[in-house]
Amino acid sequence: MTALLDVEGLTAGYGAAPVLHEVSLTVQPGQIVAVLGANGAGKSTLLRTLSGLLPAQQGRILFDGKDLSGIKVERMVHHGIAHVPEGRGVVTELTVDENLRLGGLWRKPQPPLEPIYELFPRLAERKSHLGHQLSGGERQMLALGRALVAQPRLLLLDEPSLGLAPKITAHIMALLRDLRDRTGLAVLLVEQNVRSALSIADEGVVLSLGRIVTRHDAATLVDDADLRHAYLGF
Amino acid sequence: MDRFLFLTFDGLSRGAVYAAFALALVLIWRATRIVNFAQGAMAVATAYVAYSVADATGSYWLGFIVALVAGLLLGAGVERVVMRFVDHSSPLNGVVVALGLVLIIQGVLGMIYGNEFRPATAPFSRDAFDIGGVALLSRYDLFVFAAVGAVVVLLTLLFTRTSTGLRMRAAAFAPDVSRLLGVPVGGMLTLGWALAAAVGSLAGMLVLPTELGLHPTAMDIVFISAFTAAVVGGLDSPIGSVLGGLMVGLLLSYISGYLGATVAPMAVLALLVVVLLSRPDGLFARSKARTA
């Protein structure tokens, strides 16, 4: 089976000093891959490079067999890649409904928003609220819902648990797994919250100082005490 | 009392033009965090083109349409060719480039058309007609109100009711996120500049016949009044800029009427200083200031 996302030898960063060094990884269709690692390991940089916000200095990004280098950021959604950035990226000056519509504007005809409102009933209740009136959990639901409007094949999710109560994090994780099971959505999940990420991931990739230091089944990473101590610190 | 009423209507008519011009400044400020100091010069340039066309064809209205189209093109061109390449790390860069554009445009206009005033005719009579024995409004004033009102309504509909308007607002507020959602942010910026410059051209066409006429620097004073209006309204607020424009128009009219026309430009600057010192976010800004 060809991988949905196939990254080879990716080097990227800001200015002369690269943050990522020859990172290679694959994501299969319907697979949830967790990218773990300490602050500053390069996790967000990896996602920003994959979605084109940051140019790759070296290496190759294949999506569904197509080379994505040189493709504009605004074209990525057309290929089926949705990136929910860290801090969630809700446009706080727009309403919930406008934020959601924004997610599907590029599609002709525009996709209906009802499925998203069914998935997140809380958002339906707050349709006409402005983004800055939402709680952290609601913003995460909105950012996630907005990414899903476009029916992507790969979701790049940056720290969805950041600043959220454990209960809300668990809800969002369960929802991701459910989505994957129902739609075959693949997820590259960047998380500091190792336990909740591995609770739904198929595979875990550990990034340290911009290099991939290990890659294992999520179950192995959780169960093997030596691996856990060495790479995840718990 | 008649004099007060007359000054009020005169002020509202001038204020409507300032409102349109301030609205154009706000459109660009919201999208790019640049105060387009070149907007006056750009508007004059398109007015020169318009009156050249009007003189050649004998049709004011053809010239009027040409002014708006030229505004669209000039705005898009300035964004594509110049402003896109301005380094935004310091807010001063955009200002300096805009001021450079003023010098270039005014220099080129002087070379082509000469540095003397040329007549700018009005399409309607500027003589006020009587309403109940008092001469308050001219046909031209009505034209100004209608034109500015139409622009405000059309822009409101564009921004609140259309997909393109939603894209433009999103691109202005959150460019990176918008890109990730498939919004062509660069195109939205070009469109924003084009629309703003066209609104500026409209304001120029409306105000020039009421001033001394066409001159490369004819919009300088208007720019200061409109800039003050935009600051009074809060540079981020389109509604504020319209209200600010009407306020500045009224203020100038009362001051010219009661204290003399020579005091008016000073009054505008005084208002600008007072607002910047006391309410730098404008009189109509929401309580929380944007950090940008």
Instruction: Tell me the pLDDT tens digit for each residue of B173-208.
Output: 999 999 999 999 999 999 999 999 999 999 999 999
Class of the CATH domain delimited by A5-232:
alpha beta
In sequence order, which residues have a C-beta less than 8 Å from that of residue B116 and are 6 or more positions away? B215
d(Cα B51, Cα A220) in Å, to the nearest integer? 78
| pLDDT score of B285 | 63
Residue A87: pLDDT over 80: no
C-beta of residue A77 within 8 angstroms of C-beta of residue B177: no
What residue spans define the domains of chain B?
Answer: 13-218
A-to-B residue pairs, Cβ atoms closer than 8 angstroms: 68
Q: What is the DSSP letter of A229?
A: I
Q: What is the three-state SS of A170-218?
A: HHHHHHHHHHHHHHCCEEEEECCCHHHHHHHCCEEEEEECCEEEEEEEH
In sequence order, which residues have a C-beta less than 8 Å from that of residue A48 and are 6 or more positions away? A54, A83, A85
> Cβ contacts (< 8 Å) between B289 and chain A: which residues?
none
> For chain A, how many residues are written?
234
Q: Do you find a cis peptide bond into A109, omega within 30 degrees of 0?
A: yes
C-beta of residue B223 within 8 angstroms of C-beta of residue B208: no
Looking at the complex, does the CB of residue B30 fall below 8 Å from at least one CB of chain A? no
What would the pLDDT profile of A140-195 be if each residue is shown by its tens digit? Answer: 999 999 999 989 999 999 999 988 889 999 999 999 999 999 999 999 999 988 88
In 3D space, the residue among B194, B171, B54 whose CA is nearest the CA of residue B119 turns out to be B54
Q: A83: nearest CA in chain B?
A: B180
For residues B226-255, average pLDDT: 93
What would the pLDDT profile of A197-233 be if each residue is shown by its tens digit? Answer: 999 999 999 999 999 998 989 888 888 877 777 777 7
| pLDDT score of B230 | 95
d(Cα B56, Cα B234) in Å, to the nearest integer? 41
Residue A93 CA, distance from chain mean position: 23
Q: What sign does the dihedral B90-B94-B97-B103 (CA atoms) show?
A: negative
| pLDDT score of A142 | 95
- Residue B261 CA: distances (Å) to CA of A42, A98, B267: 64, 48, 10
- Single-letter amino acid code for the residue at B229: A
Min Cα separation B189/chain A (Å) = 14
Q: B187: nearest CA in chain A?
A: A74
CB atoms under 10 Å from CB of A158, counted, come to 24
Q: Which of B166, B173, B177 sits opposite A101 (nearest CB)?
A: B166
Radius of gyration of chain A (CA): 17
C-beta of residue B256 within 8 angstroms of C-beta of residue B264: yes
Contact between A91 and B185 using a beta-carbon 8 Å cutoff = no
For residues B265-281, average pLDDT: 89
Min Cα separation A74/chain B (Å) = 4
Q: Which SS3 state, helix, strand or coil, does residue B181 take?
A: coil
| pLDDT score of A234 | 67
Kind plus residue range of the DSSP H or E element containing A83: strand A81-84
Contact between B176 and A89 using a beta-carbon 8 Å cutoff = yes
Residue B290: pLDDT over 50: no
C-beta of residue B145 within 8 angstroms of C-beta of residue B16: yes
> Cβ contacts (< 8 Å) between B31 and chain A: which residues?
none
Residue with tokens 């310091």, as numbered in its chain: B90
Contact between B180 and A85 using a beta-carbon 8 Å cutoff = yes
In 3D space, the residue among A66, A65, A23, A29 whose CA is nearest the CA of residue A48 turns out to be A23
What would the pLDDT profile of B132-172 be if each residue is shown by its tens digit? Answer: 777 788 999 999 999 999 999 999 999 999 999 999 999 99
What residue spans define the domains of chain A?
Answer: 5-232
> Cβ contacts (< 8 Å) between B185 and chain A: which residues?
74
What would the pLDDT profile of A42-84 be if each residue is shown by its tens digit? Answer: 999 999 999 999 999 999 999 999 999 888 999 999 999 999 9
d(Cα A86, Cα B223) in Å, to the nearest integer? 41
Residue with tokens 């999103």, as numbered in its chain: B170
C-beta of residue A215 within 8 angstroms of C-beta of residue A45: no
Looking at the complex, does the CB of residue B114 fall below 8 Å from at least one CB of chain A? no
Residue with tokens 């807010």, as numbered in its chain: B91
Looking at the complex, does the CB of residue B129 fall below 8 Å from at least one CB of chain A? no
For residues B258-264, average pLDDT: 89
Min Cα separation B84/chain A (Å) = 17
Residue B291: pLDDT over 50: no
What would the pLDDT profile of A109-138 be if each residue is shown by its tens digit? Answer: 889 999 999 999 999 999 999 999 999 999
Min Cα separation A73/chain B (Å) = 6
Q: Which SS3 state, helix, strand or coil, does residue B230 take?
A: helix
C-beta of residue A212 within 8 angstroms of C-beta of residue A25: yes
Looking at the complex, does the CB of residue B285 fall below 8 Å from at least one CB of chain A? no
Name the pTM for this structure.
Answer: 0.89
> For chain B, how many residues are written?
292
d(Cα A104, Cα A53) in Å, to the nearest integer? 20
Q: Which SS3 state, helix, strand or coil, does residue A14 take?
A: strand
What would the pLDDT profile of A160-172 be if each residue is shown by its tens digit? Answer: 998 888 999 999 9
Looking at the complex, does the CB of residue B242 fall below 8 Å from at least one CB of chain A? no
Contact between B181 and A78 using a beta-carbon 8 Å cutoff = no
d(Cα B181, Cα A52) in Å, to the nearest integer? 12
Looking at the complex, does the CB of residue B33 fall below 8 Å from at least one CB of chain A? no
| pLDDT score of B286 | 57
Q: Which of A78, A85, A91 sits opposite B182 (nearest CB)?
A: A78
Looking at the complex, does the CB of residue B184 fall below 8 Å from at least one CB of chain A? yes
Kind plus residue range of the DSSP H or E element containing B228: helix B220-233
Q: Which SS3 state, helix, strand or coil, does residue A161 take?
A: coil
A24-28, A34-38, B58-62, B281-285: which has the minimum mean pLDDT? B281-285
Crossing angle of helices B2-32 and B185-207, in 10° steps, is 160
What would the pLDDT profile of B10-52 be if each residue is shown by its tens digit? Answer: 999 999 999 999 999 999 998 888 999 999 999 999 999 999 9
| pLDDT score of B168 | 95
Contact between A83 and B167 using a beta-carbon 8 Å cutoff = no
Report the share of chain A in percent with pLDDT over 90: 72
| pLDDT score of B226 | 95
